[in-house]
Amino acid sequence: MNSQRTLIHGLILGAFCLGFGMLLVMTNGYTKNDIALRAIEDRQNSLAQVIPDSIHDNNLATDTLTLKNDQGNEVVAYLATREGKVTGVAFETSGRGYAGAIKVMLGVDPEGKILGARVLAHKETPGLGDKIEVKKGGWILRFTGLSIGNPPLDKWKVKKDGGQFDQFAGATITPRGVVKAIREGLQFFDANKTELMEFKKDRTKTMDPDAGKAAANDHGADTER
């Protein structure tokens, strides 16, 4: 009798564990799907902010070209096309801020002019360095329409470094990092312009190691001031 009860209890416990395990697997699957869908939505929203809808008739998120920058890192370029012709390119670029890396999504037209720039992620000080976010102010909007040459390359710095762009009161490193990221992004575009304008999928290309180094004099360790 006792052995029968033990068997029944064991079967019940086993069934419970099996059911619980299946529930965890299903929940994990749904969670992963939700995260993936959210990531796609975030990406599409970011692209929409730097590539106007009026200049393309394709799906930016799926028409991509993967290139390599001068550091050997892969850069995914999102191609905007209209009637089969490339009308814009968007890609991520990054710079060093006060509290870590600052990721920027940059949109560029075929002539190398900025269509839009938006900060994707950062860890800068709230109320100080976070002014780089479009929702915190219009500082990031002033890059629209600019290019390498407008202003001249040596002016692609914050004013404190002899450049054209404003820094924030008490926060120089943060805008310095964004300016550097955008400048290097434009140089990346110029170095890969031919490849990007051809718009052929599933190809990789290593960026010219010398491209972009003329203005890539990094500032060393610094403190926010």
DSSP state of 208: P
**Backbone angles phi and psi of 134, in degrees to 5:** -65, -30
The answer as to whether 130 is a domain residue is yes
The answer as to whether 78 is a domain residue is yes
Q: What is the pLDDT of residue 33?
A: 65
Task: For residues 47 and 27, give the distance between their C-alpha atoms in angstroms, rounded to a whole number.
Answer: 30
The answer as to whether 15 is a domain residue is no
Residue-wise pLDDT for 151-169, tens only, equals 999 999 999 999 999 999 8
Q: Write out the residue range of the structural domain in which residue 137 sits.
A: 51-215
Q: What is the pLDDT of residue 42?
A: 74
The answer as to whether 17 is a domain residue is no
The answer as to whether 16 is a domain residue is no
Count of domains for the chain: 1
The answer as to whether 137 is a domain residue is yes
The answer as to whether 25 is a domain residue is no
The answer as to whether 104 is a domain residue is yes
Average confidence score pLDDT of the chain: 83
Amino acid letter at 176? R
Specify the pTM: 0.74
Residue-wise pLDDT for 6-48, tens only, equals 666 666 766 666 666 676 666 665 565 666 567 667 788 899 9
